[in-house]
Amino acid sequence: MSTASLPPVAPEVLAEAVEQLTARLRKKLDATVAECAGRAAGGPDGTVEVRFGEDTLVTLRPGASGAVTEPEQAVCTCLLAPRCLHRAAVLGAAPIADGDALPPAGPPSPQPPADPAPAVPAASGTAAGSRPEAPGVQEASGGREAPGAAEAPPSPSPAQVEAGAVLWRASAEALAAGVTAGGTVVQAELLRAAHTARLAGLPRAEAAALAVVRGLRTAREQGREQRLSDLTAAFRELLAGAVLLASGAAGPEAVGSGRRAYEQGGGLRVLGLCREPVLSATGYGGVTTHLLGPGGVFHTLSDVRPGGLARAKGAGTASVALGGGVLDHAGLARGGLLIAGATVSADGRLGAGKNVRATPVRGADWSEEPVAALFARPVREAVVSVLDAAAEPRGGAAPLLGCDVEVLGAAGDHLAVRVLGDGPVVRLRVAHPHPELPHTANLRRIGGFPGLALRVLGRPDPDRAATLRPLAVGPVPGAAHSLRLPEEWRGRADLGYDRLQGDHFPRPAPDAGPGGVVGAPVPAGPDPLADAPLWRVRRLLETGVAGGRRAVAEAARGADRAALRVPLGRAGLTVAADLAEALAAEADRRPRDSFGRLKDASSDAYARAWLASAVHLHAAERSLVTASWS
């Protein structure tokens, strides 16, 4: 279903519209939402109209932000309005508005006494991440810093604990329903809980709930951009954050920050590392330039605006909007800046405040300090540090991993390389697979030169064993068989913008076929993550997300339960087996009274069992990924 022509709708507006429907109308809501596809048309004065028959017309009047933020902005001409099915269906078909498009949340409204907080699962997880957004969206308006310094938020207040309990109950019911039964009514309950979290000053929890709602919508619409594993991870983050808030044991990081705040950084000298194209599914495009500051601290400078692929391709040579600097992003990636009055966000992004002044300075080759230190660190130690830093909420710009490798050749859909100095075999996979970006073509050409010594700077993939997403490459100092790049490239090639040619390599590949692919592919090496029987637990968890509680009970009955327990026990994964069995048993536990009515209709215990298994699986897979770099 296409909702591109409908304006975004605030979560509380949709939740209120669904709540006003009778039980009979709620049963028809999902079918009516599907009927809205293609019916939206632009009306006068920027309104959007959706017609149902000759006498029924739903009109949306977005506010100044472009979103429907008040119930009065959605009206219907039928006799049941505003408690009508048509109005609720149109609001349910519209996209969910981001927090930035909504008015500031007022003081928390009085909340009814919450039920006792659910117990923390046996394995605790991290709080949900900050609001998903395309990198640099805040910087699209110039990176203006938010007023005030970024201070650590306080511990959860009683109102926030109550909001966490509300969010826990809603997310537990949504998990028990799954994608198949997670229609508009279930989504509306999550949206109401998200609004409660917003009023209580919990932007991180609100963002996690909205991410699950968007994932449910995309999965129900069978959108190609939605993966079941992504929705499973979103549920894990939402439930983990909610249970910590509801228990009152959450730390300050669980509260989060609604807007990126910038602190005064004083004088700052940064050196360019590489450029990375940014292309989001929401139509944003641009570039992020990765920089290295004093003490090995990573910074980023982004230029991301609506425009999609064309914007991402053109922004690589766009001017840097920072303190009157005359560099473009291509020059900054190979040069540097001396910044006076710098403003830096908590995640390492540089702001462009009115008092910021920037002067171009000479950059550093990858063979010069302090950049060379990135490639001298032992690879396992560097991977552990990078993955730990990436897991910390708002702990700074995501560090990049640098290493020197020898190309072994193509191996399926990736390149196999070995870290120099008897290091592990690592898989290089494209960072951005879009066919009009040069990442794929560059890696294919590199794969045609087995034995090539290569210096790689990229981002480790936390979900794959020994996998690196390269952003830039360069020659290895002192290696006879390495890249020969133009002098103006300053010893590096940005794989997302620069295109490697034949004269950049020491010699033609003797056994390369059409397209620069080696004729004899390298056999894929062992993959400890794929070979481990943990995939059975992952499948059980994803089955629960897709089909709900009933699907988990059916999947783990009879012989299937033995097939789950035995392989995990043989591999020594007894804790994973115990948690998976507990999940299956809880999913199948539906006690009824003598009249056939459920004695306990709550999904609390089932959600706790699912979360405990999901958190343990995430930690076990993380351990295998880290070990694969040895």
Distance of CA 89 to the CA centre of its chain: 28
* Residue that is written with structure tokens 């009152």 in the block: 248
pLDDT digits (tens, 9 = 90+) for 10-36: 999 999 999 999 999 999 999 999 888
Cis ω on the peptide bond leading into residue 378 (within 30° of 0)? Answer: no
Residue 357 near residue 340, CB atoms below 8 Å:
yes
Lowest-confidence pick of 84-98, 324-338, 346-360: 346-360
Lowest-confidence pick of 53-67, 259-273, 305-319, 363-377: 259-273
Single out the residue of 45, 43, 53, 60 nearest to residue 78, CA to CA.
53
Task: Name the pairing type of β-strands 425-428 and 467-474.
Answer: parallel
pLDDT for position 258: 53
pLDDT digits (tens, 9 = 90+) for 158-195: 899 999 999 999 999 999 999 999 999 999 999 999 99
* DSSP 3-state percent helix, strand, coil across the chain (nearest 5): 40, 20, 40
Q: Most confidently modeled of 148-162, 277-291, 474-488, 557-571?
A: 474-488
pLDDT for position 522: 67
Dihedral sign, Cα of residue 236, residue 242, residue 244, residue 246: negative
Confidence of residue 460 (pLDDT cuts 50, 70, 90): very high
Q: Most confidently modeled of 126-135, 428-437, 552-561?
A: 428-437
Q: What angle do CA 358, 360, 364 make, to 5 degrees?
A: 125
pLDDT for position 489: 92
pLDDT digits (tens, 9 = 90+) for 378-393: 999 999 888 887 766 5
CA distance 561 to 584: 8
Confidence of residue 9 (pLDDT cuts 50, 70, 90): very high
Confidence of residue 97 (pLDDT cuts 50, 70, 90): confident
Average pLDDT over residues 88-98: 91
pLDDT for position 512: 47
Whether the predicted pLDDT of 141 surpasses 50: no
Share of the chain above pLDDT 70, in %: 81
Between 542 and 113, the higher pLDDT residue: 542
Whether the predicted pLDDT of 530 surpasses 90: no
CA distance 75 to 119: 43
Q: What is the mean pLDDT of the chain?
A: 83
pLDDT for position 83: 93
pLDDT for position 109: 39
* Residue that is written with structure tokens 């995430």 in the block: 618
CA distance 486 to 527: 37
pLDDT digits (tens, 9 = 90+) for 275-300: 999 988 667 899 999 999 988 889 99
pLDDT for position 321: 78
